Structure 1
Amino acid sequence: MSVLDKLDFERPTKNEIDSRIEKLRVRMVEKDIDFAILFQNTDIFYFTGTMQNSVFFISKNGDILFFVEKSIERAKRETYFDIIPVSDNNGIFKIIKQKGFKGRVGLELDVLPSQIFLKLTKELNLSDVVDVSGIIREIRMIKSEYELRQIKKSGEIVDAVFRSAKDLLKEGMTELELASILESVGRKNGHNGAMRMRGFNQEMDNITITQGSSGTVVGYADAPILGQGLCPAVPHGASLKSIERNIPVLIDYGACFNGYITDETRPFVIGKLDSFFELPYNVAFEIIEKISETGKEGVNAKDLYNLSFELVKKANLTEYFMGYGEGKVNFLGHGLGLEINELPVITPKHDIILQEGMVFAVEPKFILPGKGVIGIEVDFIVRKDCLERVSNSSYELSVL
């Protein structure tokens, strides 16, 4: 039986939505933000339960205006809020002006298009504008038990894909062939078919399969391994390279269930792992083990990075850790939720104290020019006394 036979896209309760709204309102009061206007799909979904063409307004006193252009009927079915139908942003600006809201406004300045920003500030005569994105991302960083249930179900899709990979991976098939088959496995097990990534010009494949030279190709995105892709128009993901023996194959797979994302990587090899990859693989495995033993509520995420980097230095592998040359990235882990690049981030610079309900991926990876890539990625939920795995599949090297 696949997940499709028992799908349950559980809606957040009204109490869940009200709790999120109250957290935002309290933070607005703390920051002296009189009202906020949200335009980004994922943020609106988080606070309303629907993702239609809409704009969400909230004042620090708790006044809520939910404007929907399309689809009004669908939004009515999916949200607990009253809907204000509008035909365009001009209608939204007119209603806000009529209601007399004034003062400091919070906007999602990390993602808001400048065209909307310029028109909004002109029409509403706004002069005191602050970025509310940081507040929203911090609120979303701590997951509720409802959200954790969705993430765990997303983890079940990851398990199904990696379980299938052991039977499907064959010498001579191309990376693209394997990626296509495994994407189908994911969809049949409940993958929503898309993953969201916050930021301008950000794109993300559901699955990236690399082996040898294809994994060492540097790309533009903020990730240690992107894959060669098929063409310059989409310069990441699986390529037409054929799978060889004795060279590790990395399968980096992102699942999405009910909007919630998981992101894990497993190493595979057909035959015997080339000895060149043994040390970096063992270090990656040890990093996951150490973080799993050390992490819990109250631990500084920066300490997890430093612990890991000491293992890398001891093995004389710093040159290849998390990228090589211009391909290096400055993180070891990233948060997960409705977007694949949420807080917390695991870096040497960010002092973030782990709190129960945070969810993050740890991905120690090594890029070895002229040879290939090796690494692991595992998702964790922060609990009071430990880190809880999101998925259940082994992260050891699979030898086929």
Structure 2
Amino acid sequence: MFGELSKAVVRECLTPKYPYMPREEWEGRIARARAMMKERGIDALFLATGQNQRYFFGSTRTYKNVYPAVCIVPADGPTAAAMESADSLVLETEGYAELNVGYRGDTEAPSKTAPDPVALIVELMKKLELSGKTVGMEYGDFMWWDCLTMNQWEGIRKEFPGTSFVDATDLIWDMRMIKTPWEVEVIRHLHTVTAKSYGQILSNAAPGVNERGLFYDMLRYWIDAGIVDSTNYTLSCLNAVQPFRDRQLVDGDWIMLDGGPTYKGYCADMQRFVRIGKVDPAFEASSRLASEGMWAVEEILKPGVTAGEIWEVAYSTMARKRPEMWYTARSRRMVGWVGHGIGLNIHEPPYFVEGSKAVLKPGMIVAVEVPSYHDKTFANMPEDTYLITNDGYEKLSIDLGPTETYIRT
């Protein structure tokens, strides 16, 4: 019955040599997922996005966008992953799966004995007795499939005519939005390192300084601190978003520090602006306006507040001095939000937009970024990241310092 599975290597992997996360963290995630699945009448989660595979199985893939990879969390039965053999070995080394199915990726070379990955995944699902069951899928917002093509998915789905495939996006986000203590420690360390490294640029940027040199110094800081996953995006802005270049800073340039590195897959996100050269008082007043909006948000940032209330407080504070801010806030040309959640993706729910009823809860980690403008472009858009606590917040980016635009002459 299981012809394609017989061509694969199937093993239990629960004792990784270099664990991505502690085993008790993984077991806790699976237990919470199963409890929520049973509440919602879901028999299994079918995961085809790299971020969710990492969240539930603790492993990354070497061959991104090359070979099919599927992870399955049943409400009852063994957790299972089907991946190309190299990715399967990574899972064995750093992640967890009660059934780790590794298959040869190339059906033509060096031999034609490699399994058909679609047929293999179908066999695995039947082995898990998912025929006629309800399977939760990543159909919703921000669930970007990067482990299957649509043709591969259709090939799988047609083999299960009696199975109900339903959207489980809300279940997944309900888990990912509330960080565990382990996640909080990872993200806290990441933001401390990022803030201190950005502080170097805030201190050293000046006319005549090499732009690329500033950023190379920052990259070395990340590596020395053990933040070695990857860089996300750290950008220089010459009145538009641009990567850093081998050039000397001159009067009129401005640098936008945004995003940051990733650590264990989690993203840093904080933002400060640096203006090179002298500016007029009107620019400084516009820059301070964004800071005042940020301070107003911090006054109300706690559990029970809605994302829409945060948006309203930020813009109403600025509009007391600049009534035209209401037009800017709703303009299609300018940034309309004032923040978002953060985690394995740099932008996650909830989004701080007008009218949003999403409620802040303890354990959420959110970024607040309030924009102000001068002469039809940014004057400032500081961004800080906060852990929502039981009665308020902890600012994870506190080492980044003041929120006003930094003027360097």
- Give TM-score scaled by structure 1 length: 0.80
Aligned residue for 1:123, secondary structure, equals coil
Q: Does 1:105 align with 2:135?
A: yes
C-alpha distance in 1 between matches for 2:381 and 2:291: 8
Deviation at 1:310, TM superposition (A): 0.5
- Give TM-score scaled by structure 2 length: 0.79
Instruction: Name the structure 1 match of 2:92.
Output: 76
Matches within 5 A, 1:77-226: 77-87=93-103, 88-101=117-130, 102-109=132-139, 110-112=143-145, 113-125=149-161, 128-173=164-209, 178-194=214-230, 205-211=232-238, 213-214=239-240
Deviation at 1:313, TM superposition (A): 2.1
RMSD: 2.8
Kindly provide the CA deviation profile for residues 222-244 of structure 1, in whole angstroms up to 9, marking residues without a partner as x.
Answer: xxxxx0x3xxxxxxx44688634
Gap runs ≥5 in structure 2: 1-17, 64-68, 104-116
Residues 25 and 34 of structure 1: CA distance in aligned 2, closer, same or farther (over 3 Å): same
Counterpart amino acid of residue 119 in structure 1:
G
Deviation at 1:248, TM superposition (A): 5.0
Instruction: Name the structure 1 match of 2:66.
Output: none
Counterpart amino acid of residue 364 in structure 2:
M
C-alpha distance in 1 between matches for 2:394 and 2:237: 28
Query: Does the aligned pair in 2 maintain the 1:108–1:131 contact within 8 Å?
Result: yes
Instruction: Name the structure 2 match of 1:305.
Output: 311
Which protein has the larger Cα radius of gyration, Structure 1 or Structure 2? 2
Q: Does 1:293 align with 2:326?
A: no
Deviation at 1:335, TM superposition (A): 0.9
C-alpha distance in 1 between matches for 2:297 and 2:377: 27
Q: Does 1:22 align with 2:54?
A: no
Instruction: Name the structure 2 match of 1:396.
Output: 403
Aligned residue for 2:262, secondary structure, equals strand
C-alpha distance in 2 between matches for 1:282 and 1:28: 47
Q: Does 1:47 align with 2:56?
A: yes
Deviation at 1:264, TM superposition (A): 0.6
Instruction: Name the structure 1 match of 2:109.
Output: none
Range moving further from structure 2, 339-348 or 309-318 = 309-318
Deviation at 1:51, TM superposition (A): 1.9
Range moving further from structure 2, 246-255 or 105-114 = 246-255
Residues 387 and 273 of structure 1: CA distance in aligned 2, closer, same or farther (over 3 Å): farther
Q: Does 1:38 align with 2:47?
A: yes
Query: Does the aligned pair in 2 maintain the 1:69–1:86 contact within 8 Å?
Result: yes
Deviation at 1:356, TM superposition (A): 0.9
Gap runs ≥5 in structure 1: 1-8, 196-204, 215-226, 230-236
C-alpha distance in 2 between matches for 1:57 and 1:14: 18
Aligned residue for 1:84, secondary structure, equals strand
Instruction: Name the structure 1 match of 2:106.
Output: none
Query: Does the aligned pair in 2 maintain the 1:378–1:395 contact within 8 Å?
Result: no
Counterpart amino acid of residue 360 in structure 1:
V
C-alpha distance in 1 between matches for 2:403 and 2:90: 45
C-alpha distance in 2 between matches for 1:242 and 1:371: 23
The alignment covers a number of residue pairs equal to 361
